[in-house]
Amino acid sequence: MIANPSAKYAPFAPIALADRQWPSRTITQAPLWLSTDLRDGNQALFEPMNAERKMSLFKELVRIGFKQIEVGFPAASQTDFDFVRKLIEDKLIPDDVTIMVMTQSREDLIARTVEAVKGSPRAIVHLYNATASAWRRIVFGMSVQQVMGLIGHHVGYLKQLTDAQPDTRWTLQYSPETFSATELEVSLEACHTAINAWGAGPGREVIINLPTTVENATANVFADQIEWMHRHLVPREHIVLSVHPHNDRGTGVAAAEFAMMAGADRVEGCLFGNGERCGNVDIVTLALNLYTQGVHPQLDFSDINAVARVAEECTSIPVHPRHPYAGDLVFTAFSGSHQDAIKKGFAAQDPNGLWEVPYLPIDPADLGRTYDSVIRVNSQSGKGGIAFLLERERGVVMPRRMQVEFSAVVQRQTDASETEINGEDIWALFRQTYLRGSSTGSDAIQYHGHTLDGSGQGIELDLSIQGVRQRLSGQGNGPIAATVDALGLPMRVDSYEERATGSGADAQALAIVEAALEGVAGSGFGVGMSHNIVTASIQAVISVANRLQERRQARGAGGSAEVNAEVGA
Ligand code: KIV
Ligand code: ZN
């Protein structure tokens, strides 16, 4: 890079449009869409699509709902010519879809293009030529007058050829290539030359397509250019004003949106922003931006993953994992605060109300995506995401303080492994942490069974304590208090919650006990899980007793001897 870029690059001169209207407009309806995936998109591939791929992408574009599809550049490629012929001869173009074919302004190419679409009930012929001063001067060595002569002559020639085939409903699309870099008066003259040579009028519409062939200014400049053209084009009522943004500055979508606000009726682009250099405008993003503003784009992206897979297969270009709406990671939150907010947002979302889940600009379900990937847990994650996964996958709703405790356990694991942890692993960690004291485990206190007396106030526990099987009795105003009494530990139960997990024959009761043990700071949680709620509660008390005693041991207050000595004393 050079120290003084202004010595090499000049800013784009502002457009004199003092009373511009577009900044205060909103977009209230979808534009007419044209997919140029099979032309501009195809031209930009290392390996252009073969006939089979073109066909599969064409069918997908039709399925999505495009009513105008640029199917190729038949005069420049035999594959494209044959493809267009196949579409027509095999009657593969639905009645509500119109194909478009592109040609440069040369008689032989125009003739070959018209030949390619012979027999089609409808066709748009897209004629273009470069108009910007750098192209006129450097590339073609032409004056403005010569450029106008070229346009008038070739549109006239196209009219003559198409008039000779009245069974086809012909539309002219004219593009002043490099429009965004062309003086506005020159663009307007070029468009009027084409419009007049075609004879635009009732029943004979012309599409005027204005490209940012190379995006060269901020998107507001393009909007000004479009509003200026919108005001000056005649006869405006017989002109479909189209835009064709590219994305060299990364603002193709903004340019298209501003252009719609400025008067554009139609947008040309490619799925996922495929196309020359940095791509054509991304129609998926544009369409779904509209959708999230409450405007149906009239394109079907309700299975966005399927669309992405077809596009990837046909173009051999992967969709970026962070691509708006479609990337694998765009509905994934790793950060703890985001996860927490999303979890709360899902819980608060009114199924019939306006969408307002924090951090999710669209309901993933509207795009056929599941919530599976919304919350993923790694070392950056917090309690919200962990709680969300446990709740969604196992129906386990943890009390808030338990969420805090368990997130530290998960954090230690992810810090150590330096990897993401999935719902399955979180559940395994949860069981390992909280379902303690089973008869097959290795805990100091192991539960084998219990008997309640008739009053429900007395209990006899069948336990192993440090491997020694024994029966302990206790009294209390319920099984939990009686179990604490039987254990004989200086332990206080602070909270108790029970839940059902699973359903039908799989249903299990889950008991969560929070308790504190003398000599151990804070409280801890234990969980019991059984088909019987009383058994689950007793197991939860035994679990938390094991955990709290372990904590005390870890502080070096007497080791396992203490467990031995204290339990049942
Ligand atoms: O980007 C461009 O200028 C084009 C034209 C041919 C419309 O693709
Ligand atoms: Zn283009």
Token pair recorded at residue 126:
């897209």
H/E element, 341: helix 336-348
Can you tell me the distance from the alpha carbon of 559 to that of 569, in angstroms, rounded to the nearest whole number? 16
Can you tell me the distance from the alpha carbon of 283 to that of 293, in angstroms, rounded to the nearest whole number? 15
- Alpha helices by DSSP H, listed for 233-315, are 252-261, 283-291, 304-315
216 CA to middle of ligand 2, Å? 14
What 8-state DSSP symbol labels residue 142? -
390 CA to middle of ligand 2, Å? 49
Which one of the ligands is nearest to 243 CA? 1
Can you tell me the distance from the alpha carbon of 33 to that of 478, in angstroms, rounded to the nearest whole number? 70
CATH of domain 32-315: 3.20.20.70
pTM: 0.78
Closest ligand 1 atom to the C-alpha of 36?
Answer: 8
Per CATH, domain 369-569 is 2.40.50.100: no
Supply the residue whose CA is at minimum distance from atom 1 of ligand 1.
213
Residue ranges around ligand 1 (CB below 6 Å): 40, 128, 175, 177, 209, 211, 213, 244, 246
113 CA to middle of ligand 1, Å? 17
Which among 175, 187, 276, 280 is the best mutation to test ligand 1's pocket, defined by most ligand atoms within 8 Å of the CB?
175
Q: How far is CA 299 from CA 61, 288, 325, 364, 517, in A?
A: 9, 9, 14, 17, 62
Query: If DSSP codes are grouped into helix, strand and coil, which group holds residue 75?
Result: coil
Q: How far is CA 310 from CA 59, 62, 270, 498, in A?
A: 10, 13, 13, 48
Per-residue model confidence as pLDDT tens for the chain (569 residues): 999 999 999 998 889 998 999 999 999 999 999 999 999 999 999 999 999 999 999 999 999 999 999 999 999 999 999 999 999 999 999 999 999 999 999 999 999 999 999 999 999 999 999 999 999 999 999 999 999 999 999 999 999 999 999 999 999 999 999 999 999 999 999 999 999 999 999 989 899 999 999 999 999 999 999 999 999 999 999 999 999 999 999 999 999 999 999 999 999 999 999 999 999 999 999 999 999 999 999 999 999 989 998 999 999 999 998 999 999 888 888 787 888 898 899 999 999 999 999 999 999 999 988 665 677 777 677 777 888 888 888 889 998 889 888 988 888 888 888 787 888 899 999 999 999 999 888 999 999 999 999 887 899 999 999 999 999 999 999 999 999 999 999 999 988 999 888 777 778 899 999 999 998 887 899 999 999 999 999 999 999 999 999 988 887 644 333 333 344 43
Can you tell me the distance from the alpha carbon of 207 to that of 225, in angstroms, rounded to the nearest whole number? 17
> Would you say how long the chain is, in residues?
569
Environment class of 409 (CB within 10 Å of its CB; exposed 0-12, middle 13-18, buried 19+): middle
128 CA to middle of ligand 1, Å? 8
Which among 36, 73, 128 is the best mutation to test ligand 1's pocket, defined by most ligand atoms within 8 Å of the CB?
128
Domains 32-315 and 369-569 agree in fold: no
Residue 391 CB contacts under 8 Å (≥ 6 apart), including other chains: 397, 398
Give the number of other CB atoms < 10 A from CB of residue 350: 8
Question: What are the extents of the domains in the chain?
Answer: 32-315, 369-569
160 CA to middle of ligand 1, Å? 24
